[in-house]
Structure 1
Amino acid sequence: MSDGAKVLRPYVLRQWRALAGASAGTAVLALAELAKPWPIALIVDHVIADREAPFTPDLTLLLGIGAMILAIAVAESASTYFTGLWLQSAGERIAHQLRVAIYDHLQRLSLAYHQRTPKGDLLTRVTEDVNDMGELFSDTLGEMLQSALLAVGMTVVLLVIDPVLALLSLVTAPLLVIISFVFRRKVRDRARRQRRHEGDLASIANEALSAMTVVKAFGAERQEADRVRTRSEQRMGVGVEVARLQARFDGTVGVIRAMATALVTVVGVFRVAKGELSVGDLIIFVSYTRKASSPMRSFAREAAKLTAALARADRIAEVLTEDDVIEDRPHAYHGGRARGEIELEDVSFRYAHERPALQDVSIKLHAGQRLALTGASGAGKSTLAALVARFYDPTSGRVLIDGRDARDCAQAWLRDQIAVVLQDTVLFTGTVRENIAYGADAPDEAVVDAAKAAAAHDFIQRLPDGYDTRLGPQGTGLSGGQRQRLGIARTLLRDPPIIILDEPTTALDQDAENQVMDGLDRLMRGRTCILITHSARLASTADQILELDHGRITEATTHG
């Protein structure tokens, strides 16, 4: 069983009632399809028979045949309704549960995983791949089951009517099985390539659309369009290959089944002439043999879709089985508010397959102290702060919070104690109020108080709907300074004892920096702060200044 099938199994089992009902309905549909030629056969053999026109047909028999035709139609319609409803409902539930499960798991995966995995590819897995799983049940499986039941039913009926002619009609079956197997294998390989191309395409488009300002500033619209066009052409090429395979398969199956139909028709006429088969039975034989290509072709086509869907299921399984998770240790600490003491003991860290980002770093901060980290880009400043926040665990050494190893603390507790203000505050689609209260359950009064403390209240009041003004993605329409002040307000609302400020005033003009500094001063007051900055003004507020270079402390300065 493939990884994708293993992942799907528990979700399928939860919908067993709907799927069982759909299976019963599919069986009725197959029986109705099998029954369709029989009224004509009965008319030929028992109503018309050898009579010559004009003659008076048996009215009772005709009414019975008419009732049979109506019963077949009613059974087919009712079964189609209920089977479609149950399969569609089961598919929607399975897709919903898978989507929630994969998104929840993505939230648990480490920051390292998200930094090395293209966002467009993850979005494709959460949306398109999961949607395909729902369509697998609503469209593919029901059609496959009906085709299989129809093929088996036709074979059984033909064997009962005339075993010799039935076996003759099955002469081409082994060849069809071989062709179907080869077809499925080729489709599976192309389906996997197709999904890889789609993931690459989504990643490239997401990257460019997220940085449209840079694209336009460098006049790179044509370059980005070409990148997407190239990936799209690759995806299209694989799609055309699949379409060509499908057309070749359909044509081949049609010709082979036509040969079987011709053979059955010719031999069947000879058997009718010898009195070994009735005309009505021959009609059933020819009808079934002709129709046999339809369920065979349908089954192979849907099996190809199933194969492609399982390739998508494998992609979902890759995420759900990913174990790059920072786990809480058993009985992890989850106490009250931290004092704010931070200590690093001989801490070293390296990213996967890269040179060390930190080497043997030791520092100590008492509660309420401020530490400024300076140095060139790539010196290890953000890595050190990320270790304090436990976005990563050190390769060696220890990070201590209030004298306790951070790995012995519950991550939920650490998130309550440590807040991060980034260089460019991330805002989400929603109101100003919702963005300030992000991750916290706070009353409106507390939101306003936090905004006032962050020097954000005045500009919020000037917005069209004040705190209820809806912001676009990334806070479209706000200046950098305004976004930073909202980020400071968000952090003030949480009231953490430890603050990490990652270049909070970079790229701001003097006026914006002055306004942000007012909010930062209130934010840092009485809290332990780690400042990552190139700003001499901000660094001068620190009790200690450490300069890093290639992951090592090269200079340490103490104020006061």
Structure 2
Amino acid sequence: MSLRHSPHGARQPGRQRAKSSMGTLRRLWTFIAPQKRKLLAALGMVVASTALALAGPYVIGSAIDVYIVERKTDGFLTTLLFLLAIYAALGAATFLQNYWMIAVGQRTVHAIRARLFRHFHELPISFFDRRQQGELMSRITNDIDNMSQTFNSTVIQVVSSTLTLAGAIAVMVFKSLVLTAVTLVVVPLMYAGMRWITRRTQVRFREQQRALGEMNGLIEEALSGQKVVKLFSQEERMTAEVVRKNIELKQAGFWAQTYSGFIPKLMNFLNNLSFALIAGVGGWLAVKGMISVGTIVVFVEYARQFTRPLNDLANQWNTLLSALAGAERVLEIFDLPKEEEDEGEAEEIDRLHGRIEFRDVVFSYDKQRPALRGVNFSVSPGETVALIGPTGAGKTTVLQLLARFYDPDAGAVVIDGRDSRTIKRASLRRHMAFVLQDTFLFAGTIRDNIRYGRLEATDEEVEEAARKANAHSFITKLPNGYDTVLTADGGGISQGQRQLLAIARAMIADPAVLILDEATSNIDTVTEVRIQEALARLMAGRTCFVIAHRLNTVQNADRILVLNEGKVVEQGTHEELLEAKGFYFELYRRYWERGRQRA
């Protein structure tokens, strides 16, 4: 049984949520601000490249009037070299703006991803019980990757397109008001079309990100529980679920891409319409002698530079909407309340003796149905206490409060004579170790997995802990011994061997208080004996809380706490409780005695 539970969490009041695009952008600026110097330099290059891009066509138009229409030759080479210099400088400015903006984007995304991962570790246990791991992984990978793409290219293109648009209009007005008005005819059409498209794509991109997160969560769950899926022959059902989620993602993605795909079609139509209008009206004006041929060339080129920025803005707007949808999902995690802060008077502790008391403890996960109701008991240092009772009796909740994953609603958990709320959580947990039924090992070497209990431990201490845990013999038989690399969750070794490594990890931590969830079920007899021997060494001289599933553990405990409906209904030794013929006696008679008969 895991120490995790499924309470109903509540949002911390007064926290701003990223519900509007401007609100999201303002909050993202806090991550971009440390890179503002490089960002300003990149934007400076954007201004320079935009000015150079606008200068090129202007020089070409003037050259056509002078050297082709008027047939002059003086200064032609100088004009050509000047034009080459403009485009060389344009290339350099474009390179620098991209180089600096990518640096800004990657550092910003790095900061967001690091903070998000750190925030995950600051959230209470209850948060992870309510979420799929794959869905959370989608936020730290897919959603942030969408943001990365925006930082790398979208910002530059939006600024560049806006400046190009403004500059092109200014030059066109200077050259010819009539042709400028003709060019601007397409703007109302463009605005109406883009408004129709973006109002639909924003919703679809949000649906796409949500569907992607949900499908990732389901796939991760199916792959992690592959053995259970096969044992219960649920392959078809899980496949059908993934197919259903995949269809939802396909539909959301189809409409998001379909609507956004209208943008280049609309822009191409408007480009062609603009060129046709400029060519027709400009040709008529040239025949009438109202403008020069060079001016028509300038306007044709600027018309392209006028509609291309609008096209870029439209395309990047969709990319921005997709990134904002991801950013909202990331910022939503930041809005979730962290694990409660340590109280102002909470202190670090150097050592723990292991005297534990529960004084009239009342606690509920949802503030409605009590999980514990007036629990009272005391445990002496070095004492082993077994917690038994039916499912939902409150056994796990007792251990949750002991480790300060939660604090009591009323009453107090007293440790070494002081309220646990006066001890900092991290300091308290450093003096505790957990050996749970579902052993989790990290991808890495066996040595590193054992050392996880105390990172500063030497190799000799790691091996000594493995010997005490009866793990040394099987480790040395592995191809690379202690340097054997385990796959995720300890793949490649047996369940019993994983338990021995978990015991070694707890052994090297040298805790004052030990919390055990017996894990010898479905393990062969020889391995079970080795685990029991290792646990006996680990428990010696330590205050131990054991969620008991087996009779021998109950019999060997110094004291048994019998819980039912959130109350301690009985406590005492195995013999004392049997003699009392109360609730424990009924449990013993109905379950354990029956199990012993079957054995």
Separation in 2 of the partners of 1:145 and 1:487? 55
Separation in 1 of the partners of 2:228 and 2:519? 21
What is the aligned partner in structure 1 of residue 502 from structure 2? 487
- AA paired with 1:496? P
Is 1:443 aligned with 2:458?
yes
What is the aligned partner in structure 1 of residue 329 from structure 2? 315
Separation in 1 of the partners of 2:383 and 2:277? 93
SS of structure 2 residue aligned to 1:379: coil
Quote how far apart the aligned CAs of 1:517 are.
Answer: 0.6
- AA paired with 2:65? D
1:346–1:361: 8 Å Cα contact kept in structure 2? yes
SS of structure 2 residue aligned to 1:343: strand
Quote how far apart the aligned CAs of 1:433 are.
Answer: 0.9
Separation in 1 of the partners of 2:337 and 2:31? 20
What is the aligned partner in structure 1 of residue 467 from structure 2? 452
Separation in 1 of the partners of 2:524 and 2:562? 25
Q: Map 1:79-478 to 2 at 5 A.
A: 79-352=93-366, 355-440=369-454, 441-478=456-493
Per-residue deviation, residues 97-155 of structure 1 (Å, max 9, x unmatched): 11111101111111111111221111111112122222211111111111111111110
Task: Please tell me the root mean square deviation across aligned C-alpha atoms, in Å.
Answer: 1.9
Match of 1:49 among 69, 80, 89: 69
CA spacing shift, 1:507–1:397, aligned 2, 3 Å: farther
1:428–1:435: 8 Å Cα contact kept in structure 2? yes
Separation in 2 of the partners of 1:318 and 1:231? 22
Separation in 1 of the partners of 2:86 and 2:359? 80
- AA paired with 2:548? T
- AA paired with 1:258? N
- AA paired with 2:540? R
SS of structure 2 residue aligned to 1:377: coil
Per-residue deviation, residues 462-518 of structure 1 (Å, max 9, x unmatched): 111111111111111212221111111111111111111012323323222211110
Where in structure 2 are there 5+ consecutive unaligned residues?
1-20, 577-599
Separation in 1 of the partners of 2:26 and 2:58? 43
Please, what TM-score do these two structures have when normalized by structure 1? 0.95
Quote how far apart the aligned CAs of 1:39 are.
Answer: 4.5
Separation in 2 of the partners of 1:420 and 1:6? 43
Report the identity percentage: 36
Where in structure 1 are there 5+ consecutive unaligned residues?
52-56
Match of 2:536 among 513, 521, 527: 521
Separation in 1 of the partners of 2:113 and 2:485? 27
Separation in 1 of the partners of 2:213 and 2:332? 14
Q: How many residues align?
A: 554
Per-residue deviation, residues 197-245 of structure 1 (Å, max 9, x unmatched): 0110111011011111112223333332222222122112111112211
Quote how far apart the aligned CAs of 1:352 are.
Answer: 3.1
Quote how far apart the aligned CAs of 1:290 are.
Answer: 3.6
What is the aligned partner in structure 2 of residue 54 from structure 1? none
- AA paired with 2:330? I
Quote how far apart the aligned CAs of 1:551 are.
Answer: 2.1
What is the aligned partner in structure 1 of residue 54 from structure 2? 34
What is the aligned partner in structure 1 of residue 14 from structure 2? none
Separation in 2 of the partners of 1:478 and 1:463? 10
Quote how far apart the aligned CAs of 1:379 are.
Answer: 2.2
Per-residue deviation, residues 54-85 of structure 1 (Å, max 9, x unmatched): xxx61x43212321331232122212211111
What is the aligned partner in structure 2 of residue 500 from structure 1? 515
- AA paired with 2:415? I
SS of structure 2 residue aligned to 1:530: strand
2:260–2:318: 8 Å Cα contact kept in structure 1? no
1:47–1:61: 8 Å Cα contact kept in structure 2? no
1:18–1:90: 8 Å Cα contact kept in structure 2? yes
CA spacing shift, 1:439–1:104, aligned 2, 3 Å: farther
Per-residue deviation, residues 429-483 of structure 1 (Å, max 9, x unmatched): 1111111110411011111111111111111111111111111111112122211
- AA paired with 1:508? I
Separation in 1 of the partners of 2:551 and 2:449? 30
- AA paired with 2:24? G
What is the aligned partner in structure 2 of residue 14 from structure 1? 34
Per-residue deviation, residues 294-322 of structure 1 (Å, max 9, x unmatched): 21011011012112211211111111121
- AA paired with 1:488? I
CA spacing shift, 1:301–1:439, aligned 2, 3 Å: farther
SS of structure 2 residue aligned to 1:519: helix
Per-residue deviation, residues 360-379 of structure 1 (Å, max 9, x unmatched): 21111111111101122332
Please, what TM-score do these two structures have when normalized by structure 2? 0.89
Separation in 1 of the partners of 2:352 and 2:374? 25
- AA paired with 2:109? A
1:272–1:278: 8 Å Cα contact kept in structure 2? yes
More divergent stretch after superposition (77-86 vs 346-355): 346-355
1:456–1:485: 8 Å Cα contact kept in structure 2? yes
SS of structure 1 residue aligned to 2:75: helix
1:112–1:392: 8 Å Cα contact kept in structure 2? no
Per-residue deviation, residues 139-187 of structure 1 (Å, max 9, x unmatched): 1111111111111111000011112321232133233234333433322
- AA paired with 2:221? E
Separation in 2 of the partners of 1:179 and 1:99? 36
What is the aligned partner in structure 2 of residue 25 from structure 1? 45
